[in-house]
Structure 1
Amino acid sequence: MARQGTPSIPMGDAGDTARETVPRTWRTHGVLSSSAHKFEAFLEAAEFDRGPWLTVAFGCGIGLWFYLAAPWQWAAMIAAFLGMAVLSWAGWRHLPGRAFTLVAVISLALAIAAGVSVVWARSVMVGAEPIAYPRFERIDGRVLSREEQPAEDRVRLVLAARDGETGKAHAYRVNVPLSADNPELREGARVRLSARLMPPSPPIVPGAYNFARRAWFDGLAATGSAVGDVEIIEPPGASRLSIASAQRQLSRHVRANLEGTSGAIAATLASGDRGAIPEADEEAMRDSGLTHLLSISGLHVSAIIAATYFLVLKLLAFWPWLTLRIRLPLVAAGASAIAGIAYTLLTGAEVPTVRSCIGALLVLVALAVGREPLSMRMIAVAAGVVLVLWPESLVGPSFQMSFAAVIAIVSLHNVRAVRDFLAPRQESWLRRMSRRAAMLFLTGLVIELALMPIVLFHFHRAGVYGAAANLIAIPLVTFISMPLVALALALDLIGAGAPAWWLVGKSLDLLLAIAHFFAEQPGSVKLAPRIGMGAMGLYVGGALWLALWQGRARLLGFGPILASAVLMITAPIPDILITRDGRDIGIANEAERLLVLHDREGGYAQDNLLELAGTDQSPIEIVDWPRSRCSDQFCVFTLDRGGRPWSVLVARNRDLVEERALAAACMRADIVIADRYLPYSCRPRWLKADRRFLDREGGASIYLADQRIDTVAQDQGEHGWWRAPRE
């Protein structure tokens, strides 16, 4: 008998059914609550600040769009993270006291979905479909922009014109030799010229620069060079004045007062125009770790704003009536903001400059209201604004290097030990200056360590002595060269700038001497082959974790950083590199220098092969290598990899060869490489990299020991800048 008031529980099948259908909410609720409690406790212990991580999540969404191949994958990512937000709300909304964790998960998921959506929309709106094939065309168009490059003996124009075949409006970037230049060849002019046009170039080998991607977001359908004279159909008009023309006039004025490379660098500091800097000097600046001084960014904008703030504040302090009635820091902040915005516009408003200007304006606002000026939230807001406006900048070296440097500086100066070291104290001026110098060197070292993986990833070479070089160069440029340039320009208004320009020249000659000294030291340049996305992702994740978390939890960031360092150091060098046209190949890991099919010193293709092979030594032509056998049409040689010999047959030219003889040679080879279409009867044992293969896959990197082939097409997916070349 069942106790009165207690329902009897049926036995047998009915009991089993009852046990299966009754949910045990107490167990799932307990597990979920415990997990949420632990997660929230971890966030609180690490002083989790959601603001910077929202920008990181937004950037992750942008990165996912570039990494994933197809539209259905992009849509799936958006749906997945939106679903995560909904499920998080549905699962945790009844958990008391978990609002902080709930909001964090939901907001981060929404930020990732927003990142994928924004860059996808940007690609659809601004992407320009490239022309289908190289061609010679007569262009009748209007000049959109003009860039002077006297160091390259040319002027670069962007023209708006209609396609001669389809009638669609396109933007073409055309190089015009200085001999064909005209004073009226500027923005707004209508011109007619003949030009050889090419589709924007994708990477010539895996890991090389992807100009096609940049051209897609810049709206460029083709690039090329003008042939013959340029006819001015309609002049731009005397009343047309733009920031670009003001920038060019300022650059010319500076170079007219100061000749040589020092004048070109002074023009860069004044207007952002780098077109007159000789390649040798620019390479020395890069290899010494000083190339950031040639790119208008945080250092230059901060110097302009800080100088304006200091001068306005001190000058207004001499007016007692104003001092007693107006808050001078507010007035100085307003004047500095105007100066910073004007300098940003004048120097071309590139991404690093815009980022720096936004960050500096936030610092001014913080100073004006009495808040902490240097914080990760300030950097996050600046990065967020840039990514919303130009999401494609995330994958470019400019954005990455700019923000990595600023994050490293702010993170370092937010460490308590560093703050204590820099705290004011009673001491002699010598000890105070020594501490400042030591801190400057430490800051430079941290910046170099932060930037080196990024530089190696994009450029495959980085300066090793950058910290020491910057210890001298940054104060020189910030406190001597830039103020002298400003003083010289001001004195030019009354025709008395010559002495100041002489001092500018001496200071910049010293800068060049520093660059060449450090660039020419033994071991000054670190070379690296292609670094994989996995290694780069580990580094970025670890570095952001180390910078944004607080307390002991931040030390976990060293794990991914060390793992990425190991992967970068041990990154393999491809045994064979083949450019997308098949006309240039490189054989590494065999002789003391890179073996190439054709030695084209200073050529773009050969420079890329040398960088990706991790060497700066002059190459050797395969025909001169003792272990190769060459005829007028082909070279054949053997490489020992992975415990077996690999026979390689390489075409030297496009001369016709008897098909039966070619088929017999292909049968004896493991790999055949040619810049032409080979007949189907040519069947090597492993790979036929002919024109048909290269048209489909682009350039290739071959790792024989692993029997692995990496191609350009593998990294491009179905993005717009690759679909047209692949078809």
Structure 2
Amino acid sequence: MATQGTPEIPMGEAVLTAHGAVQRPWPMHARLSSFGDLAERFLGRAGFDRAPWLAVAFAGGIGLWFALASPWQWAAAIGLALLAALAAAALWRGREDRANLLLAVVSIGLAVAAGSILVWARSAMVGAEAVPAPRFGQFEARILERIEQPAEQRVRLVIAARDADNGRAIKLRVNVPEAQDQPDLIEGTLVRMRARLMPPAPPLVPGAYDFARRAWFEGLAATGSTVGAIEVIEPQEGDGGVIASLQRSLSTHVRGQLGGASGSIAAAFASGDRGAIGEADETAMRDAGLTHLLSISGLHVSAVIAAVYFLSLKLLALWPWIALRVRVPLVAAAFGAVAGIGYTLLTGAEVPTVRSCIGAVLVLAALALGREPLSLRMVAVAAIVVLALWPESLVGPSFQMSFSAVIAIVALHNARPIRDFLAPREENWWRLASRRVAMLFLTGLVIEIALTPVVLFHFHRSGLYGAFANVLAIPLVTFVSMPLIALALALDVIGLGAPVWWLAGQSLDALLALARFTSAQPGAVKLVPQMGLVTILLFVAGSLWLALWRGRARLWGFAAVAVGIALLATTPTPDVLISRDGRDVGIAGEGERLLVLRDTESSYARDNLLEVSAMAGEPIPLARTPGARCSPDFCTVVLRRGGRNWNLLIARSRTMIEERALAAACDQADIVIADRFLPRSCQPRWLKADRTYLGREGGLALYLADQRIASVGQSQGEHGWWRPLQPRTFTRR
């Protein structure tokens, strides 16, 4: 306000005093206007394309629901997204100088809200409450799905039964040993069985696989295994489901024509059935960066559709009557689309297959209409369709790896330098071949770079030589193995497929030899501890920024990726891992191999501890470690971390111990770990991880140098699949 006697000179919205000072009554409005100008100019220069960013925002809304802990937070996120859209519409509607900004804020706000609402609604509709505790009993059930797993010497049945406690219908998954299998255990059969059932398991330790979340969205209330023979009460007439029966028959036929490991892989290519692939072959393919070839996805669907499209195109062109009266590319595209949809249904309609089928059909439509077939808009439409049907797939490795690879391929091939490099020109055949091979290698390298953060986040290990192996493996599978399998199946109709099956087997043996050779090389596998959520989000955000913007603005994506790399390089390895039941304990950092409490034959617990600790080799039982002192009931070990000694007291049995002696031992320990309830008198100096604490928090990862505790419960919130055994408290001792 001006002082008395000081004249004011009006200057629009500002006020100029006699002393030259400028007073702005609306500084915040001015700053917002300036920010709006900058944002509008940026969106115009960087090429804001609404469709891809709508898909990103839709996925972001789904991801927010998983990341936030409680219903009030989910509702707040939805409300804020809608409020942002409404505010943008109120401020900038009708302003030509804010057209891009208005479009961006409104569409992204609505997409974020829609994603959160959709996944929340789906969780409420399909989520199945788990059985409260392990149980054993006899019940009648209807078989919903039969999954053959010869490599595991079992058959897996998905069944519908009646819960004995409350009478509600529940969906279960049980494993049947091969010795107890029967030919009439197919879809629709009513059976009586005895089985041991368990609630779906949450992550064993932080960063491990979350089966409980997957079971929630699949509607599974329990899993288990049958005991004794299964009685068929009401057999199903026929062969069960048409598609399931056809898939099983095709897989059995392929394995009958082509035995061994190559037959198992051929069955996976033909029908999507991976149940016969051995663990050693699966591991070799994964460590060589070739495991994507075993999952029916873009490569396989594209090969089938492309083969049918070009074959139909050539055959229809040979018929003048059709060629002169119909649009041959349109008819060929229709044949290709039908083939792709049929192959997708036959192979199980998994997320990568559905995504690939949708994308390939869109490409066919673009070709038939004379449009650009390879675009990020096509990828965005496929992503939105998949997420609309299965929003929970966003947090799984299948969706993330599938779309990461496709976005990398499309962004690479749409870059101007790559377009110039691939442009047709007059040259010798060997120059053309050299350019194609170089492009294949570059594409494989870019895919590996794009997939590595996702693979490390979910599996804690990644093959480093995948780009080199894929240069040979992708052409081998696309142009040799799959055409030979298709030709052999066609010739089997007239009984002449045997020679072609032999050739297909040789090509698949070559693929396996390549995988084993690559995975056996020194340094072929990179192991990392559990990557933080912030780290993987930096990688994802930086990669999307690079792919979706144009011009120099996209280079800012490298900054986010660089920060992600720095965080990944400094990610600490947990010193102690403790399972939810307290029976499995792993200690890292005491040599090159993991120390474990129990010399267990459970591959599930052992593999989870090894993966999260980023350690290889067979674990060493704690009782055989020179620095540990073990009795039949307890082990004690001293760890040097963070400049001090940490004394651990770990229970080995459930034998009753005199309370005074136990309390004295707890007083000398910093950390006590037990798979039982410990009395109040047991008071260690830092942490008492007994049955009460572990039941409330879940599995633990201890970082002793930082004095930090990470628990499974911290990342679960109030989602339906997480059920703490004890109420959570937030008091600190």
TM-score normalised to the size of structure 2? 0.95
Residue 587 of structure 1 contacts residue 596 of structure 1 at CA under 8 Å; is this kept in 2?
yes
Once the two structures are TM-superposed, the CA of residue 602 in structure 1 deviates from its matched residue by 6.1
Residue 697 of structure 2 contacts residue 724 of structure 2 at CA under 8 Å; is this kept in 1?
no
Residue 701 of structure 2 contacts residue 710 of structure 2 at CA under 8 Å; is this kept in 1?
yes
Residue 599 of structure 1 contacts residue 606 of structure 1 at CA under 8 Å; is this kept in 2?
no
Which piece of structure 1 moves more, 291-300 or 643-652? Answer: 643-652
User: After superposition, what is the alpha-carbon deviation per residue over 1:481-540, rounded to whole angstroms, capped at 9, x for unaligned?
Assistant: 000010011001111111111111111011110010001111111101100000011110
Compared CA separation, residues 567 and 28, structure 1 to 2 (3 A) = closer
3-state SS of the aligned residue for 1:705?
coil
Q: C-alpha separation between the residues in 2 aligned to 1:240 and 1:187?
A: 5
Once the two structures are TM-superposed, the CA of residue 590 in structure 1 deviates from its matched residue by 2.1
Residue 132 of structure 1 contacts residue 725 of structure 1 at CA under 8 Å; is this kept in 2?
no
User: After superposition, what is the alpha-carbon deviation per residue over 1:13-63, rounded to whole angstroms, capped at 9, x for unaligned?
Assistant: xx9xxxx9x998886665444332221111010011111000100100000
Match in the other structure for 1:77? 77
Match in the other structure for 1:142? 142
Consecutive unaligned residues of structure 2, counting only runs of 5 or more, are 16-22, 728-733
Residue 592 of structure 2 contacts residue 615 of structure 2 at CA under 8 Å; is this kept in 1?
no
Match in the other structure for 2:378? 378
Match in the other structure for 2:227? 227
Correspondence list, 1:476-487, <5 A: 476-487=476-487
User: After superposition, what is the alpha-carbon deviation per residue over 1:37-94, rounded to whole angstroms, capped at 9, x for unaligned?
Assistant: 2211110100111110001001000000000000000001111111111111222236
Does residue 79 of structure 2 align to residue 86 of structure 1? no
User: After superposition, what is the alpha-carbon deviation per residue over 1:434-485, rounded to whole angstroms, capped at 9, x for unaligned?
Assistant: 1100110110011001101100100011111101111111100000000001
Residue 118 of structure 1 contacts residue 391 of structure 1 at CA under 8 Å; is this kept in 2?
yes
3-state SS of the aligned residue for 2:722?
helix
Compared CA separation, residues 27 and 68, structure 1 to 2 (3 A) = closer
Q: C-alpha separation between the residues in 2 aligned to 1:190 and 1:724?
A: 35
Match in the other structure for 2:339? 339
3-state SS of the aligned residue for 1:229?
coil
Correspondence list, 1:31-42, <5 A: 31-42=31-42
Match in the other structure for 2:406? 406
Match in the other structure for 2:596? 596
Match in the other structure for 2:705? 705
Residue 629 of structure 2 contacts residue 635 of structure 2 at CA under 8 Å; is this kept in 1?
yes
Residue 132 of structure 1 contacts residue 724 of structure 1 at CA under 8 Å; is this kept in 2?
no
User: After superposition, what is the alpha-carbon deviation per residue over 1:609-657, rounded to whole angstroms, capped at 9, x for unaligned?
Assistant: 1111111122221111111112221111211111111111111111221
Correspondence list, 1:309-320, <5 A: 309-320=309-320
Compared CA separation, residues 96 and 489, structure 1 to 2 (3 A) = closer
Once the two structures are TM-superposed, the CA of residue 592 in structure 1 deviates from its matched residue by 3.0
Q: Which amino acid aligns with 1:592?
A: E
Match in the other structure for 1:456? 456
Does residue 302 of structure 2 align to residue 264 of structure 1? no
Q: C-alpha separation between the residues in 2 aligned to 1:567 and 1:658?
A: 47
Q: C-alpha separation between the residues in 2 aligned to 1:518 and 1:363?
A: 34
Compared CA separation, residues 32 and 568, structure 1 to 2 (3 A) = closer
Q: C-alpha separation between the residues in 2 aligned to 1:599 and 1:614?
A: 19
Match in the other structure for 2:680? 680
Compared CA separation, residues 663 and 360, structure 1 to 2 (3 A) = same
Q: C-alpha separation between the residues in 2 aligned to 1:702 and 1:686?
A: 11
3-state SS of the aligned residue for 1:494?
coil
Q: C-alpha separation between the residues in 2 aligned to 1:94 and 1:618?
A: 67
Residue 698 of structure 2 contacts residue 724 of structure 2 at CA under 8 Å; is this kept in 1?
no
Compared CA separation, residues 426 and 581, structure 1 to 2 (3 A) = same
Q: Which amino acid aligns with 2:36?
A: A
Which piece of structure 1 moves more, 95-104 or 378-387? Answer: 95-104
Q: Which amino acid aligns with 2:58?
A: F
User: After superposition, what is the alpha-carbon deviation per residue over 1:157-182, rounded to whole angstroms, capped at 9, x for unaligned?
Assistant: 01111101110110000001111111
User: After superposition, what is the alpha-carbon deviation per residue over 1:229-267, rounded to whole angstroms, capped at 9, x for unaligned?
Assistant: 011111111275421111011100111111111111100
Compared CA separation, residues 346 and 370, structure 1 to 2 (3 A) = same
Correspondence list, 1:293-372, <5 A: 293-372=293-372
Match in the other structure for 1:105? 105
Q: C-alpha separation between the residues in 1 aligned to 2:726 and 2:288?
A: 39
Q: Which amino acid aligns with 1:280?
A: A
Match in the other structure for 1:620? 620
Residue 290 of structure 1 contacts residue 515 of structure 1 at CA under 8 Å; is this kept in 2?
yes
Once the two structures are TM-superposed, the CA of residue 11 in structure 1 deviates from its matched residue by 7.8
Match in the other structure for 1:536? 536
Q: C-alpha separation between the residues in 2 aligned to 1:277 and 1:673?
A: 39
Residue 186 of structure 2 contacts residue 240 of structure 2 at CA under 8 Å; is this kept in 1?
no
Compared CA separation, residues 256 and 663, structure 1 to 2 (3 A) = same
Correspondence list, 1:247-286, <5 A: 247-286=247-286
Once the two structures are TM-superposed, the CA of residue 606 in structure 1 deviates from its matched residue by 1.1
Does residue 692 of structure 2 align to residue 692 of structure 1? yes
Which piece of structure 1 moves more, 611-620 or 417-426? Answer: 611-620
Q: C-alpha separation between the residues in 2 aligned to 1:453 and 1:99?
A: 36
Residue 130 of structure 1 contacts residue 724 of structure 1 at CA under 8 Å; is this kept in 2?
no
3-state SS of the aligned residue for 1:720?
coil
3-state SS of the aligned residue for 1:650?
strand
Once the two structures are TM-superposed, the CA of residue 591 in structure 1 deviates from its matched residue by 2.5
Match in the other structure for 1:3? none
Q: Which amino acid aligns with 1:343?
A: Y
Residue 139 of structure 2 contacts residue 194 of structure 2 at CA under 8 Å; is this kept in 1?
yes
Match in the other structure for 2:518? 518
Which piece of structure 1 moves more, 492-501 or 32-41? Answer: 32-41
- CA RMSD in angstroms comes to 1.8
Q: C-alpha separation between the residues in 2 aligned to 1:331 and 1:299?
A: 23
Q: C-alpha separation between the residues in 1 aligned to 2:334 and 2:105?
A: 38
Q: C-alpha separation between the residues in 2 aligned to 1:503 and 1:700?
A: 51
Match in the other structure for 1:605? 605
Compared CA separation, residues 453 and 239, structure 1 to 2 (3 A) = closer
Residue 33 of structure 1 contacts residue 95 of structure 1 at CA under 8 Å; is this kept in 2?
no
- How many residues are aligned here? 712
Once the two structures are TM-superposed, the CA of residue 142 in structure 1 deviates from its matched residue by 0.4
Match in the other structure for 1:423? 423
Consecutive unaligned residues of structure 1, counting only runs of 5 or more, are 1-8
Which piece of structure 1 moves more, 446-455 or 588-597? Answer: 588-597
Residue 667 of structure 1 contacts residue 685 of structure 1 at CA under 8 Å; is this kept in 2?
yes
Q: Which amino acid aligns with 2:683?
A: R
User: After superposition, what is the alpha-carbon deviation per residue over 1:402-457, rounded to whole angstroms, capped at 9, x for unaligned?
Assistant: 00000000111111111111111111111111110011011001100110110010
Q: C-alpha separation between the residues in 1 aligned to 2:368 and 2:725?
A: 53
Once the two structures are TM-superposed, the CA of residue 99 in structure 1 deviates from its matched residue by 2.2
Match in the other structure for 1:390? 390
Q: C-alpha separation between the residues in 2 aligned to 1:31 and 1:613?
A: 49
Q: Which amino acid aligns with 1:692?
A: T
Match in the other structure for 1:587? 587
The percentage of counterpart residues that share the same residue type is: 66
Q: C-alpha separation between the residues in 1 aligned to 2:485 and 2:333?
A: 23
Q: C-alpha separation between the residues in 2 aligned to 1:410 and 1:607?
A: 36
Q: C-alpha separation between the residues in 2 aligned to 1:184 and 1:446?
A: 48
Q: C-alpha separation between the residues in 1 aligned to 2:30 and 2:174?
A: 67
Residue 44 of structure 2 contacts residue 100 of structure 2 at CA under 8 Å; is this kept in 1?
no
Match in the other structure for 1:553? 553
TM-score normalised to the size of structure 1? 0.96
Residue 577 of structure 2 contacts residue 701 of structure 2 at CA under 8 Å; is this kept in 1?
yes
Q: Which amino acid aligns with 2:540?
A: V
User: After superposition, what is the alpha-carbon deviation per residue over 1:255-286, rounded to whole angstroms, capped at 9, x for unaligned?
Assistant: 11111111111000000000001111111011
Q: Which amino acid aligns with 2:214?
A: R
Does residue 163 of structure 2 align to residue 187 of structure 1? no
Once the two structures are TM-superposed, the CA of residue 603 in structure 1 deviates from its matched residue by 1.6
Residue 137 of structure 1 contacts residue 164 of structure 1 at CA under 8 Å; is this kept in 2?
no
Q: Which amino acid aligns with 2:533?
A: M
Residue 51 of structure 2 contacts residue 380 of structure 2 at CA under 8 Å; is this kept in 1?
yes
Which piece of structure 1 moves more, 668-677 or 26-35? Answer: 26-35
Once the two structures are TM-superposed, the CA of residue 10 in structure 1 deviates from its matched residue by 13
3-state SS of the aligned residue for 2:230?
strand
